[in-house]
Structure 1
Amino acid sequence: MRLAALRHVYEQPGPCATVYLEGRSPGEDAKEQTRLRWRELRERLQSQGAAESALEALDDALAPAISGEEQANGRVLVANAETVALQAPWDASLGGGDDAVWQELPHLGPYVREHARSIRELVVLASQTGATVRQLVIAEQHEPREVGSQDVEGSAYEQVHKPRGQAESHSRIQNRADEAVSQNAKDVVERLRKISSNFQPHVLVLAGETQGRQAIRAELHDELATILSETDRGGEGHNESDMALTDELLRIAEEAGERRAHQRSEQWQKALAHDLAVQGAQSVARAAELGAVETLLLEPGAEATREAFLLKTCSQTDAGVDLVASGSELDEGVGAILRYPVNF
């Protein structure tokens, strides 16, 4: 995650309220339960001295959830006395619960950690005539959350079926059918490149019809090929196939997360060896103020010393943020990979 995406939140004057509302399965009393949960959080903010105007703004922002429209969706909100600066989906770790904090800077550590743990999957359900392309975000211990979907029809979609027989005319028709499938695959891959430039997937999952998968795979020659994972499960539109595909997507996401953690650990060790890393709140803060932080590193389950300040400062220079593996024992729970060496 690039922290510049949160710069506008940190630019708002404080103090501010940060609210986390955990997503839960809807039930018969979900509407009432959501109302009670927000009332408890609202009272907590009042006891911390929150401005009434900020609370009223949060009332309005949470109205769809309280009315029952979005009860299953978790969210994080940041509001000061003037505006709601952030309202975004949030997939809490199971049992993470609700929270509300009124303080000078936004309390966005849990939100940032959720983003760092999440895996973005670009899923292609291929056919010989095109594909359905889905953009999924998979948070740890959660079902995939779809953030985008579109059908891609190849420009040669009417000519993909091959005739039976060995006649010369049939052979020509078969060649044209092969060419049509190839053209459709090129159209799909072109669309994938456009989607990927904005979505920045961690993994490309290729599923669906065998012939469609083969054709699309043959057209992947750039960075998308390096993140390709293929499966023959699901993609047929039936409930059992859909469930099988979902299980496969979760497995692929888990493996991708493990690879990311391993790669980040290797990068951290190499940076330390070349004086391109620091740790501890004071050292990271100085490096951040100099614009030297390339990636802010946090531990998964513990808040770092001066965390809110470090997130704000790093957001001003478009630093990234990621998690180290549990047990890394960073000084004061924070470290940084640097763009260039710094001397204090």
Structure 2
Amino acid sequence: MDLAFLHPLYEHPGPWASVYVDTSRHAEDDSHERRLTDEALSRELSGQGADDATCRAVREALEELRLSPEPPGRALFARAGGVVLDPPLARPPRRDSARWAPLPHTAPLLELAGEDPVCVVAYIDRKGADFELRGAPDRRDAGSVSGRQWPVQPVHRTSTVDWSERQFQLKVENTWEHNAGEIADALAVAQEETRADLLILVGDDRARRAVRERLPGRLADLVVDAPHGIGSRLLDEDVEQARAEHVRRRATRELERFRAARHPDAEGRSTAVEGVPALVEAAREHRIDELLILPDGPDAHREVWIGEDPDQLAVRRTDLGILGEQHSWSARADDALIRSAVATGAPALSVTPAAAAAREEAPVGGLGALLRWS
């Protein structure tokens, strides 16, 4: 997950209100029930020490969510009487929550908003293709491409041995090849324009294979074949299955990289760390290349100490004094490490989709990192 969109949260000091709400039930709940929920979240913040102005800003933002169609969920981050960031969520949180703390509680975003692959579905035949952009929760047309319509006769192969028919068959083959190239070029452009994470090919085996072979090599890992043949529009569950599998493969691939990087090289150096003390040291030195988090891991909510700047963090409060920081606050380890990752441009990834099948590869305690250097 690219964390750049979180920069506004770290341009101001805390404390912060972090609220996660399930908006998928808004159509079912009546206005009175939603109002009670909003007030309960505001009271929860107040009980944790939030100021009245920030509680009011959160309550007003929650009221606005009731007035317009929403994605499955929404996160709100507020301070000093104003909402600073309110990213949509790709899936609803397990429960509505409100937290008041020195740092914004951003770790849940890795699962709720982080891995939400956008797909271009290509419905392919021998004459062209229609493209459809699919994501959670919407779909829309993404253009089409028409290939060469020559020869005029129906485009199909023939078993005749007549020489003229063989010439015709060769022309048909050439037309297929030309059209596959046109479709592949258009699909590559569609991916670049939409920044799609996944390309789903729908069509008969030969048409899909011809297009796949002509796509740029950089797209090879993004292409999957649909479970149905030509002529059928993909159901939402088909797309969701492809999206979930893509997320699982991505997490598995990163865990495999992490496992390989764990092992020291010939000089005894490794480019992966795990556990809070090692991660804190790597974050202070700006060595984290990618942060890996298992949100339910025991180290995720372990207490660390932070200063005003992202690289001012320590396992013990006294360590911050040694580093020259005069002010310190306790914070969750996952939130403190995400702040450091944002400051240094490192991405973060929830490894939950792969950890169930590869528990031994997951970082010990649920927190790990691939390093820029050992």
TM-score band by shorter chain is: 0.7 to 0.9
- Contact 1:18-1:102 within 8 A present in 2 as well: yes
* Distance in structure 1 (CA, Å) of the matches to 2:64 and 2:226: 38
Distance 1:210 1:278, change over 3 A: closer
* Distance in structure 2 (CA, Å) of the matches to 1:11 and 1:125: 45
Letter in 1 for 2:217: D
Mapped pair 1:267 → 2:257:
yes
What's 2:56 paired with? 56
Q: Secondary structure at 1:62's aligned position in 2?
A: helix
What's 2:368 paired with? 335
- Structure with higher Rg: it is 2
Q: Shift in Å at residue 108 of structure 1?
A: 1.0
Mapped pair 1:151 → 2:142:
yes
Q: Secondary structure at 1:229's aligned position in 2?
A: strand
The gaps in structure 2 that reach 5 residues or longer are: 265-269, 303-332
Map Cα deviations across residues 55-76 of structure 1 (whole Å, 9 max, x no partner).
3333443334222x22563111
Letter in 1 for 2:248: E
Map Cα deviations across residues 110-148 of structure 1 (whole Å, 9 max, x no partner).
112334554443333345344223142xxxxxxx433x7
* Distance in structure 1 (CA, Å) of the matches to 2:242 and 2:183: 23
Q: Shift in Å at residue 234 of structure 1?
A: 7.5
Of the three residues 222, 243, 263, the one matched with 1:227 is: 222
What's 1:84 paired with? 83
What's 2:276 paired with? 281
* Distance in structure 2 (CA, Å) of the matches to 1:247 and 1:229: 15
* Distance in structure 1 (CA, Å) of the matches to 2:168 and 2:274: 69
Q: Shift in Å at residue 266 of structure 1?
A: 1.9
Q: Shift in Å at residue 185 of structure 1?
A: 0.9
What's 2:290 paired with? 295
Q: Shift in Å at residue 105 of structure 1?
A: 0.7
> What CA RMSD, in Å, does the superposition of the two structures yield over aligned residues?
3.4
Mapped pair 1:191 → 2:182:
no
Of the three residues 77, 100, 103, the one matched with 2:101 is: 103
Distance 1:170 1:117, change over 3 A: closer
The gaps in structure 1 that reach 5 residues or longer are: 137-143
- Contact 2:71-2:90 within 8 A present in 1 as well: no
Letter in 2 for 1:43: R
Q: Shift in Å at residue 312 of structure 1?
A: 0.6
Letter in 1 for 2:142: D
Distance 1:158 1:221, change over 3 A: closer
Distance 1:179 1:282, change over 3 A: closer
Alignment of 1:35-46 (within 5 A): 35-46=35-46
Distance 1:211 1:184, change over 3 A: farther
* Distance in structure 1 (CA, Å) of the matches to 2:243 and 2:89: 18
Q: Secondary structure at 2:344's aligned position in 1?
A: coil
Q: Shift in Å at residue 182 of structure 1?
A: 4.1
Alignment of 1:296-311 (within 5 A): 296-302=291-297, 303-305=300-302, 306-311=333-338
Distance 1:234 1:250, change over 3 A: farther
- Contact 1:122-1:135 within 8 A present in 2 as well: yes
Alignment of 1:25-36 (within 5 A): 25=25, 27-36=27-36
* Distance in structure 1 (CA, Å) of the matches to 2:83 and 2:208: 44
Distance 1:247 1:73, change over 3 A: closer
Letter in 2 for 1:281: V
- Contact 2:204-2:229 within 8 A present in 1 as well: no
- Contact 2:110-2:350 within 8 A present in 1 as well: no
- Contact 1:186-1:216 within 8 A present in 2 as well: yes
Q: Secondary structure at 1:316's aligned position in 2?
A: helix
Q: Shift in Å at residue 44 of structure 1?
A: 0.9
Q: TM-score, normalised by structure 2?
A: 0.73
Q: TM-score, normalised by structure 1?
A: 0.78
Q: Shift in Å at residue 181 of structure 1?
A: 3.2
Q: Shift in Å at residue 45 of structure 1?
A: 1.1
- Contact 2:74-2:86 within 8 A present in 1 as well: yes
Percent identical: 24
* Distance in structure 2 (CA, Å) of the matches to 1:158 and 1:334: 54
What's 2:314 paired with? none
Q: Shift in Å at residue 93 of structure 1?
A: 6.2
